Structure 1
Amino acid sequence: MALRLRGNGPINLHFLDVTRVAGETMTGHVDLNVAQAQNDNVERLSIKFKGIVRCRISTSTGAGGVTHHSDTIILCDEQISLWDRGSAFPPPGSHILSCPFQFTIPETAPPSFHCEGYYRKATISYALEVVGQRPGRFKENRNVRQPITVLAAASQAQLLLTQSLRQGWSGAYKTWTTDGKLKEGLWGKHSHVRVMLDIPDLTSYPNATAIPFRLHVETDTKPLPMSDAPVDKHGNPFFPAPPASSSHVRLRLHRTVDIRVRPIHSGHVDDDFLLKGSLGDSVRLAAVSQVTDEPEWIPSTGPKDKKGLGIWRRAVHFSTTVTIPYTPTVQTDILNWRYFLRFTIPFPMLGDDIRLDVPLQLHSSLACPPPSIGVAGSSDMAYADVIPAGPPPPPIDLPPSYSTGEHHVWDGDEKN
């Protein structure tokens, strides 16, 4: 964790650059070089803390033009006056006046968020802005902006659930299932594939926490004459063979974002994210346990089945975990999103992939810090500024430009 120092002329903002949690009290201070401020005609110094939800949907005018429609919800909008010319002076022998400030993030504040698609864009953003007012025409104010990453706070029950998962889940599991029919060619009978996922039986799951699961893939060949093994005369496995390795299974986190611009415009943005250290990750195969069943010959028994025919049933079972370092699920009047674990089992025929989508809600894995406490005699440090027990706050899905303030909106002035 590092102290973030941002400045503009006589103004410097001192604020620790850490992920914040809803309900947390943030502290910092602004250093003002009073001599420079007077020479620069700065008359007043204040600091704002603002959070917004903003959605934008663009529509074509039909003649090559585009119309932008936007809607905004103000989450928080506070301002503190820090200094007026002549109201306070630096200590003797110094030109620097230190102005402390404190803001509390609303307990119900949704987490920072950003998504962007074709003609659609949505942001939940928070920032501090220090304003040095310079009266008079053609004199721009001196502004210093600091984006803030905010995560939702977990409830006590959610924290206990997170602890249970981290210590090794011993509770109940629920099963999601899909099946499909495949053909090796244009003619002939179908083969069958069944995909089953066992995952802890929870209504929501903590982000940035390893979630255990078991994936089962079972395949049945089309009816075949009895053979000694599920391979053809060339030694190739009969179609469809289950995945030989966990790296052959594709696992993605699919996110669907619903965007609304009141009163009439709506749209959505879909994204897929690679989840590292789980199925489909060829770098960390050791993190996946794999068990392959012995092939089973099952004779055909139906009245219309020919004698000597049957199917080969084969199955493979993968056990591992998945960690999802993405923004907890949120619903607002103009913006909400939902997640799916998307498992794709590829087979060597065009269009014959089998997909299992498992919906899941995400909640925060972090508690709200207690009120500000002094550390090492500094009034600018709070609980979030000290490394707490447990893992660090998880990263969330924000673009690199978020840290520059590009996606934050002040006073209705949106930067594209």
Structure 2
Amino acid sequence: MSYPGPPVEFTKDRPLRLIVGSNDSGICATSESQPELAVDGTVELHLAFAQEKQIERVTLTFSSWVLTRIRSGQHTFSDSARPCRDVKLMLWRIGAAYPPPGEHVLRFPFSFSIPANAPPSMHEEGRHQASIIYKLDLCGERSVTFGFDVHIERRLNVIPPDLNIDRLRPRSGGDLIRVGRLDISRSVFKHGPSGHVDMELNIPGQNHRPFPIDTRHPFTVVVSTFSVPVYETSDPETDKDALCPSIDIAALHLLLRVRLKRYTTLRVRGALTTKQQNIRSHRLLSNFQDKDTLDVDIGPKEWVAYIGDDQKLSGKGHWKQQFVFRSSLILSSQLATPTFKHALVDVNYALKFECVIPSQKSLVPDHCITVKLPIVISSKTSSASSRRSASSPLLADADVGRVYSG
């Protein structure tokens, strides 16, 4: 029989426990107290239940593999590799060890080293499949003719410590700023000057710099509306031109959307393909689309004089209103891996910010401003890795990652 993860309590059918990582998280990563990448944990054996179950010996096997599979028509092409050497340990055999007096449980600490340049854990299903699996198999072998051995299998979340760390610097330079603009007319049939909406994204300190995984990254988005050119005497609350475009204050939580786009390039013998996956904003953001906790400053409407060469617009201007959104995103290791390149699979990312302005006309589609930026996700920083990267060169534009459409 097999069961995933450790049981809450020992039973006759479950005399073994497999505990992996801090708080049994299954995460294998470095830290201040654990500078080397390794699978650390403890196997627990309830001796009385093991004897009742007729278990003769207990083994623990660590294995890993990289698998890519591409389907083309009726054909499937696959390739595989081993990032680490498989290891099998004999932990206990009958009569070899007993718990201290008054206790029933034997404990066996274990540790398997993982190369620092090993790829991170990942798994993507679908028509094209990419998997990087690290696994422990705990086996209690029974001395019975009929029946099954006791198995516990645990897949591990391996996060190598040095992925893109050399691209980090404590002082990166400026903020990461991207802007977008969209012109909006009152009607598709009406010619003449239009209003527009500007969007500015600002992520402090992230210009030419990777995003450490499992780290909170604050940002602001400033959305500014500029009405169709009108005279200052036009009422910004009732005049149709002065209201185009405008944003519904009650629906600000629906205005902005964020997606993390993952691009996975798979390689097999003689074939290559790239697949993409969206990780939507509600899994990345803490307060961006929650109406009750939305952090936004709403500016007053103010008239701004037109500056340009069009004599027809002399004396006119725009009614302007500004909205400043504040939030933060966390690129969780439960949702993403660091950016990496392997012989069989590459993973790259882009952040996609959208500002959706609902159309005032039923037959006119909504207006959308899109800002898309390729990003590099790095391993989480530590004091040791920060010291290693202090003299590293600044991340160059060409190193940001591949840019894909979509």
Q: Report if TM-score (shorter chain) is over 0.5.
A: yes
Q: Give 5+ residue unaligned stretches, structure 2.
A: 31-36, 360-364, 385-406
Deviations 1:198-253 (A, max 9, x none): 2123311223322222212223333345533334347x961112564651332323
Pairing 1:221–2:227 present? yes
Identify the residue that residue 241 of structure 1 maps to in structure 2. Answer: 246
Pairing 1:147–2:155 present? yes
Identify the residue that residue 86 of structure 2 maps to in structure 1. Answer: 78
Identify the residue that residue 353 of structure 2 maps to in structure 1. Answer: 343
Q: Report the CA distance between 1:360 and its aligned residue.
A: 2.2
Identify the residue that residue 267 of structure 1 maps to in structure 2. Answer: 274
Identify the residue that residue 392 of structure 1 maps to in structure 2. Answer: none
Q: How far apart are the structure 2 equivalents of 1:226 and 1:92?
A: 88
Residues 172/89 of structure 1: CA separation in 2 closer, same or farther (3 Å cut): closer
Residues 182/48 of structure 1: CA separation in 2 closer, same or farther (3 Å cut): same
Deviations 1:241-296 (A, max 9, x none): 256465133232322222314121423032132233233332422xx241525422
Q: Report the CA distance between 1:362 and its aligned residue.
A: 1.9
Q: Give 5+ residue unaligned stretches, structure 1.
A: 62-66, 370-416
Q: How far apart are the structure 1 equivalents of 2:322 and 2:152?
A: 60
Deviations 1:343-389 (A, max 9, x none): 221112214111112332222336499xxxxxxxxxxxxxxxxxxxx
The AA in structure 2 aligned to 1:115 is E
Q: Tell me which of 52, 77, 83 is aligned to 2:65.
A: 52
Q: Report the CA distance between 1:98 and its aligned residue.
A: 5.6
Identify the residue that residue 195 of structure 1 maps to in structure 2. Answer: 199
Identify the residue that residue 179 of structure 2 maps to in structure 1. Answer: 177
The AA in structure 2 aligned to 1:262 is V
Identify the residue that residue 112 of structure 2 maps to in structure 1. Answer: 103
Identify the residue that residue 356 of structure 1 maps to in structure 2. Answer: 371
Q: Report the CA distance between 1:21 and its aligned residue.
A: 0.6
Identify the residue that residue 292 of structure 1 maps to in structure 2. Answer: 299
Contact 1:258–1:337 at 8 Å: present in 2 too? yes
% same residue: 19
Pairing 1:312–2:326 present? no
Aligned residue pair count: 351
Q: How far apart are the structure 2 equivalents of 1:156 and 1:301?
A: 46
Q: How far apart are the structure 1 equivalents of 2:164 and 2:344?
A: 28
Contact 1:10–1:37 at 8 Å: present in 2 too? no
The AA in structure 1 aligned to 2:348 is R
Pairing 1:205–2:211 present? yes
The AA in structure 1 aligned to 2:71 is S
Aligned with 2:253: secondary structure? helix
Deviations 1:113-159 (A, max 9, x none): 23334x13323322211245679999865533122222232689789
Q: How far apart are the structure 1 equivalents of 2:17 and 2:357?
A: 57
Contact 1:300–1:309 at 8 Å: present in 2 too? no
Residues 88/302 of structure 1: CA separation in 2 closer, same or farther (3 Å cut): same
TM-score between both structures, scaled by the size of structure 2 = 0.70
TM-score between both structures, scaled by the size of structure 1 = 0.68
Q: How far apart are the structure 2 equivalents of 1:270 and 1:86?
A: 50
Q: Report the CA distance between 1:34 and its aligned residue.
A: 9.6
Identify the residue that residue 128 of structure 1 maps to in structure 2. Answer: 136
Contact 2:164–2:377 at 8 Å: present in 1 too? no
Q: How far apart are the structure 1 equivalents of 2:319 and 2:104?
A: 84
Aligned with 1:346: secondary structure? strand
Q: Report the CA distance between 1:90 and its aligned residue.
A: 4.3
Residues 246/172 of structure 1: CA separation in 2 closer, same or farther (3 Å cut): farther
Deviations 1:27-66 (A, max 9, x none): 3235385996798685x643211223323333442xxxxx
Contact 1:120–1:269 at 8 Å: present in 2 too? no
Q: Report the CA distance between 1:71 and its aligned residue.
A: 2.6
Q: Report the CA distance between 1:96 and its aligned residue.
A: 7.5
Contact 2:229–2:313 at 8 Å: present in 1 too? no
Is 70-79 or 242-251 further displaced after alignment?
242-251
Identify the residue that residue 362 of structure 2 maps to in structure 1. Answer: none
Q: How far apart are the structure 1 equivalents of 2:261 and 2:164?
A: 27
Residues 156/324 of structure 1: CA separation in 2 closer, same or farther (3 Å cut): closer
Cα RMSD for the two superposed structures = 4.1
Deviations 1:58-102 (A, max 9, x none): 3442xxxxx443332322233233168678354799997765532
